[in-house]
Amino acid sequence: MNLNSKIYVAGHRGLVGSAIVNNLKDKGYTNVIGKTHHELDLLDQQAVAAFFENEKPEFVFLAAAKVGGIVANNTYRADFIYENLQIQNNIIHQSYKNGVKKLMFLGSTCIYPKNAPQPMPEECLLTDTLEYTNEPYAIAKIAGIKMCESYNLQYGTNYISVMPTNLYGPNDNFDLEKSHVLPALIRKIHLGKALEENNWDALREDLNRLPIEDVDGSASEDEIITKLDAYGIKKQPKTQNATPNTPQISIEIWGSGKPMREFLWSHDMADACVYLMENRDFKDTYSHSELDSESTPSQDGKTCEAVTSQPNTKNPKPNTANEVRNTHINIGTGVDISIKELAETIKTIVGFKGELYFNADKPDGTMKKLTDVSKLHGLGWKHTVELKEGIEKMYNWYKENI
């Protein structure tokens, strides 16, 4: 990419897209374009075709997607598979038709099997069943990887797929119904602290900027307390045996707190994306000398074939000498943390003194999802922001902007 290259960032206002735009501008790129949903509906095939024909971008970052946490993924299953397939099909195909020089497709590490070996190498794609709660979203993202691979192999395009781990940072989604775990915990614990301190100004300011369903800062105290209670921010009734040190506010967190998760600062993710677009091509994403290998070991020595539920013993394995697979790149830190430890870290940073309650009757999701980042490191990039520093940055951003 040249500094005056025309670069289209799809989803430029989202968590990842906005970070990519900022990274590009910080590096001196002067012709970065983006369109809001009102300006361009990415679900509309004809509108996307007209946009590409008129604008003729040279490079594309496909960061637009319908995303959400475990509740949203499991509830709006049809929306997640339809909208994500439609967005990526429209953009990838129009990029090909209009001669885009290079495209980057952003997916998610939820593409990997529920029981994949840990850490998860790229080679484990499609080796077993997916986690049920986010299966529609994962299938859409797998389709995006295969679409990029297929256009590269058939048409000689230069499309790269990257699979980020759980991301967090400025412009994240803090909606308590639809957000991912880290921003949801930051907001819930922030609201819990305000309630704990009887700080109604802070509560009303937060709700005015981001109402919870139909409740904003103009609601009565009772209405606000009732709505917060429904989302697990609970004010405990005073008891006869209560002491000044007895927690008056508790925060309910879904699941046992035992699942392990990996988190990457969104600005680091953006830097990885721009680095790969500047320095790497599709041909760099797979080993040309090992196309005929039967299986690839993960870092812990397990092979991806070992996780298949029902190995095929009836039919011989086909010749794979000319097969190109698993060209996507994991983007992560290679370090994980339990949800319980994450919540305790946020509690300390926010300054909340109440109780954290883990509701084990609610689903945990996959127990461990750690990425193998060997391929990424081999391509020359490594993260710089550690989790505690990132949470502090994100909470400061939240207080100033939400």
CA distance 99 to 8: 13
Q: Provide φ and ψ at 155, rounded to 5°.
A: -110, -5
Cβ proximity of 294 and 320 under 8 Å: yes
- Any idea what DSSP says for residue 166? E
The single residue of 29, 137, 151, 398 carrying the catalytic annotation is 137
- Any idea what DSSP says for residue 4? T
Residue 132 bears catalytic tag: no
CA distance 109 to 141: 9
CA distance 357 to 362: 12
Q: In this structure, which amino acid lies at residue 184?
A: A
Dihedral angle computed from the Cα positions of residues 191, 391, 253 and 216, in that order, rounded to the nearest 10 degrees: 30
Q: Provide φ and ψ at 306, rounded to 5°.
A: -70, -15
162 strand-pairing partners: 106, 329
CA distance 65 to 59: 18
Residue 336, classified by CB atoms within 10 Å of its CB into exposed (0-12), middle (13-18) or buried (19+), is: buried
What lies within 8 Å, CB to CB, of 209 at 6+ separation is 402
DSSP reduced 3-state for 300? coil
Cβ proximity of 28 and 81 under 8 Å: no
CA distance 348 to 323: 50
DSSP reduced 3-state for 42? coil
- End-to-end CA gap in the chain: 35
DSSP reduced 3-state for 94? helix
Dump the DSSP string for 201-252: HHHHHHHHHS-BTTB-TTS-HHHHHHHHHHTTEEEPPP-TT--TTS--EEEE
The owner of tokens 């000044």 is 244
234 strand-pairing partners: 250
> So which residues are the catalytic ones?
137
